[in-house]
Amino acid sequence: REKVFAEIEEQSGVDFQKLSEKKTQLFNELDSLLVETYQITPALIDDSKLVTGEEGSLCTFDLEFVKNNTREGLFDPRKMSESAKEGIVKRLDEFATIIN
């Protein structure tokens, strides 16, 4: 096989080794220009599958307040003090910073 290549190179005056290297270089340059694109379409996710971890990811925050040494989850957020609201917003901002 190498004899055949050598014979063809002699007859044509073309260095196939250099051509092969140039081809590889050009393909590498083209490969570096390759851009991958993705299309994302909104889809409804089943809440139960989301909670069990079968689909997607889920992050929930449960807000509770303590009344008479008892935690209660049902409350009217309109009755919260401004400082409590600001504290919650601050913590959520910290969390958003961490996950980004």
CA distance linking residue 42 with residue 45, whole number of Å: 9
58 near 51, Cβ under 8 Å?
yes
Please state, rounded to an integer, the average pLDDT across all residues of the chain.
80
Q: Find out whether 43 and 37 touch, Cβ atoms under 8 Å.
A: no
Outline where the chain has alpha helix (H): 2-12, 16-32, 47-52, 82-99
Rounded CA separation 22/32 (Å): 15
Locate the domains of the chain by residue range. 2-32, 47-99
pTM exceeds 0.85 for this model: no
- Residues of the chain short of pLDDT 70, as ranges, are 1, 35-44
Angle at CA of residue 66, ends 61 and 98, nearest 5° = 30
